Structure formats: C-alpha cells, structure tokens
Amino acid sequence: MTIIGFVNRCKKKIDSCVSSTAPSVIIEGEPIKDARIASVKNRGIKLRYVTEITADNLAYCKEMLKFSEIRHLDGIKGNFEVADEKEYVAVATLYEAQPIPQLIFSNVPEIVEQQQFIFDSFWDKGVPAEQRITEIEKGIVPSITTILTDYKKAEIKEFDMIEKAEKEIQIIYSTPGAFHLQEKSGILELLKEKADQQKNLQISILVPIDLLVKKSLSLRPLTNAKNNNIHIQDIAPSIDIKIKSLVTDRSESLVMEIKELIDQELITIIGFSVYSNSLPTVLTYCSIFELMHNQSILSEELKHEGELKDEFINTAAHELRTPTQAITGYTEMNDELFDDLLRNRDKATDQEQANIIAKLHEYHESISRNASRLNILINNLLDVARFESNSNNGNIVLYKEKVDLVKEINEIIEIQFSNKLKEKGNKISFVNNSLGEQCGIYSDKLRLNQILINLIDNAIKFSKRDDSINIMIKDNNDFGFNLSETEVDTTNRVSNNDKSDHLIQEGDDEKSTEKQEMVYVGISDTGKGISSKIMPKLFEKFVTDSDFGTGLGLFITRKLVEAHGGKIWAFNNNDGVGSTFVFSLPGK
C-alpha cells in the first residue's frame, strides 16, 4: 500500500494528524500533492489536517489551505491518516521535504475507530489555521487557556508570572485561608521583594481581613513596602466562591480553586487551576477585581457615611434640644414674672417693677438668642437638604445684586458678633489696604452674609481668649501660600499629598471665571489649627473637630462659595498658631 494508493481508494474524506514536517513532504512531493488535489477536484474528497503551524512551515501550510482544511495544535506528534473511518495508515518518522517511507496499514475496525477518536479530539482542540497564520505574521502571542490539575505546576506558573510582571499585579484571595496558604508557599515574600525592587510596579491585593490575617507576620511587611506600591483592601469573605486569582500586567491570568477541608482543624489546599493569556479572559478577571475593589470601597464609604449620619443625628438632636429647652424655660419664667407683676402691680414699688422689667428684658434676650441659634440650625439642615436634593441638580438659587463687601463685613462684626467678642475679649483686625474703603462685588447678599458669619464665628470659637482675629481683603491670592499649587476637584475632594497637613482647596475650576477679576477674603484665628486627620475632608458634611456643632457649617460655606463661582481654601498658619480660611468671589 502506497500513500497515493491510499488516497485514490478514498470515497468521502481523509482525516490526517501530522507533525510540523509533514506539510513540506506533501507540497514538495509532487505526486502526493497532485493526487490529493485531484481527489478534491475530481471526486469531492474532503481533506482535514491537524498539525503544528510554525514560521518554518508557514508557506507550505498556506499552499495546503488551497485544497484542504487545517487546524493548528501546539507540539503535536505522530503521523497517521484515517480514510472514510474505515482504513488507517501511519508512518513512524517523516523528514522534511523527503519521500514518505514505508507505511503501516490497518482496516481493523477497533484500530481505525481508536485513531479516528484521537483525530477528532485533536481537531476539536485545534486553532483554525488562518488565525495561527495571522498570529505568526503579525507577531501575536497565541492565546492559550490551560487547565492545570497538578498544584505544583500551578505554583510554578504563579511564581513565574509574578517574576515576569513589570507594571501591575492584581490578586484576589476570596477567603482568609487562601491568604494563609500563600504565606506557606513564599508568594507573599516574593511580592514584597518585587515591590521593593520595582518602584513602578503596582501590586493590589483583595483579601478578607479577619483577626488571624491582621495578626499575620506577612501582612505588616506588605503594607510597609518601601516604595508604597502594595495596596491591600479588605473585602467581605465569600461563602460560596473559594478561589485565588492572579492577573499580571493585564496579559496573563491564573485562577486556582481553593478547597477547605475540616478535620480537627481547617486545612486549605489547591484544587485545579486555569491559566490563560487570552485577552478577553484576562480582562474579565481584571473587571471582576475592579468590581470587587470598588464594591468594597463603596461599602466602607457607606458604612462611614452611616456612622457620620448617626453621630450627626445625635449631635443635631442635642443642638436642637438645647435652645428649645432654653426657650421653654425662659418663657415659663417670663410667664411667672408677668403673673407676679399683674397680681402685685398696685402693691409693687417702682424699684420692684423696674427689677421685674429688667428680668423680663434679660429673659427676652436669652429667648431671642436661642431662637436665633435654633433658626440657624434649621436653615443649615434645610440648606443641606437642598444641596442633596435631585431637584435643580442640588444647586441653590442665588439672587445677585451689587454689594459692598467692606460694608457687609463691618456690619456683621458690629451686629452679629459684638457681644460674643466682648465675652471672650477678642478683637477683630480688619485690613483692607489694597482695595480702598469700598469693595464692590456681585453677590447674593443673604448668602454672602451666611458665608462670612460661618467663617467669622468659627474663628471666634477656636481663638484663644483676648487674642486677635484678622480679616483681610485682597485683589490677589497672596496669603503666605501659593493657593494655586493645590488644584482639587470638588467631586473627588482630594488634597495634594505634599500639602495634606497644611493646605486644602475646594472649588470648581469650570465655575471659576476664566479672565474675571477675583476678590479674596482671608480670615485668620489663633486656635489649635486644623488636624491632619480632619484637613483632607474639612469641607465635607458632618465633619467637625470639636465636641459641639453639627459639622455642617463649612460644607454649606463651600457650597455657597462655589455657587457664586469662587473657591475656598484652608491652611494652618506658618507660625504654627491657628489657621486661615480664604475664599474668592468674582468682582462685579
């Protein structure tokens, strides 16, 4: 039996599994090639080949595609053909571009059936020749997805992927047991070494941080990497999903099945693993990582927001109760005095009546002061509700008019704060050298007063007794800091890392006028300054650095400044005493 005779006997199809040298034998051997082409053209025979397509046999494979269908399979060995699922031929060895040596032939059904099954298995796993040819011609690394049942091979692949990583490593441990398994394997030590050696390599780890993980000797070194390029995020432990996933440089992924066996103690082992460099597969795991990371961050923020709201509710209840109780108490005492005055108006002396009237006046002032305090608190709550409302995109409506800023500041100091300043012995130094006696701006007068009252009230509250509070108006931002150094997006409210203990700025660049002249107002106190813990979130709602107050004042102030098209900054003073708030508004 010759190979040409085998082809000529075929009625319907020939399935061939051949090594990478076979394409050259088929094309270079003219009689073999001609017989196969003739079988296709004259008798409609279907030819299918599974082989390894390489750069060396690429031209031959392209030629074969003209009369056959080819699939690529890495590292395939053996040379056999099955015709019509009835006859089988094989050759032990083929040499490139050399004639085919003596054949092994069989038509024993069991042998033919077995070889057909082997071919079908290879065919199903093969990659279309057109895809493989494109990969070779364009230098594309072929996509591979492999199941690793040997955990040792999986660990070797894991080490290899981490060693090769250059830009990014993403790891998910769905259970604490998976994290502890990595401690034993030495992977965590390797991650620390890589982070220290490659400062541009970013390593992100998601892990449920329970008590044992917190106490882990491996956790602290990871969080103290010298390049600060290892980021560990706590996630909720998964009950149903037990995996460990690794993605490096968004080009390779390795997902390991984690089995947790409970004997006398919990034992964690690796099951099967799946390796892939297929881009859609790898990016899917990247997306899963990012979703889990973002979900965890959001969960923490919601938890923190809930804690702040609970704390705010308790504080607000206290803040509402205090003036309400005072108003109620003074009103009751007023009633008693009025009743006493009415009962004894004919008997009381002029001096006694004068004393009662003086007391009534004192109670009236206390009622008025607490009513004003209650009114401010209620208005603050209403303002926050407006800002948070979906209607009108949370924007507040301003009724702008021409306003003299100097006049407004002087009136606020005299009317709103004269008594408070006397009580604490504070003085306000108002400096307006650069702009003259008047400073015209275009503003909502009521909201401008609210901004000024909030900031001046804070300055008085945090200043020491008998110290001065400085208010300055300037036509530039020269307040001892280059306020343009730190540009902060109000949607993210992130402070410059280099200035986080010293300077924060809030404002919307789009709302800031491009060429319009700005007026800057600075208010400085001599208090304890702004703590580094509070500074980055100073202008967020519910944030306060004192034992009293709702933490809404600066949040509302920022919103009102932004509504006017300005910005607001805060920084600790250079001399280490107190802090300064600066806000800008467009001039008229």
Instruction: Give the single-character DSSP code of 146.
Output: E
Which CATH fold would you assign to the domain 3-138?
Endonuclease; Chain A (3.30.870)
Q: Which of 111-120, 219-228, 239-248, 391-400 has the highest mean pLDDT?
A: 111-120
Percent of the chain with pLDDT over 70: 84
pLDDT of residue 499: 40
- Is a pLDDT exceeding 70 seen at residue 538? yes
Which of the listed CATH numbers 1.10.287.130, 1.25.40.10, 3.90.1150.10, 2.160.10.10 matches domain 304-392? Answer: 1.10.287.130
CA gap 66, 421 in Å, rounded: 97
In this predicted model, what pLDDT tens digit does every residue of 386-431 receive, in sequence order?
776 655 545 678 889 999 999 999 999 998 888 888 888 888 988 7
**CB-based burial label for 78 (10 Å; 0-12, 13-18, 19+):** middle
3-state secondary structure of 441: strand
**CB-based burial label for 250 (10 Å; 0-12, 13-18, 19+):** middle
Place of tokens 């019509």: 84
Please state the domain extents for the chain.
3-138, 145-277, 304-392, 396-586
Which tokens belong to 193? 């070494």
CA gap 218, 566 in Å, rounded: 48
- Contact, 523 vs 470, CB < 8 A? yes
User: What DSSP element (H or E) covers 233?
Assistant: strand 230-234
CA gap 557, 426 in Å, rounded: 23
Residues in the chain: 588
Beta partners for 50?
A: 17, 71
Which CATH fold would you assign to the domain 145-277?
Endonuclease; Chain A (3.30.870)
Beta partners for 246?
A: 171, 254
User: What is the assigned CATH class of domain 396-586?
Assistant: alpha beta
Q: Which residue has the higher pLDDT, 398 or 488?
A: 398
CA gap 183, 219 in Å, rounded: 10
pLDDT of residue 222: 76
CA proximity to 80, closest of 133, 120, 125, 42: 120
Q: Between β-strands 266-276 and 145-148, what pairing exists: parallel, antiparallel or unpaired?
A: antiparallel
Q: Which residue has the higher pLDDT, 32 or 503?
A: 32
Q: pLDDT band at residue 115, thresholds of 50, 70 and 90?
A: very high
Domain 145-277 and domain 304-392, same fold? Reply is no
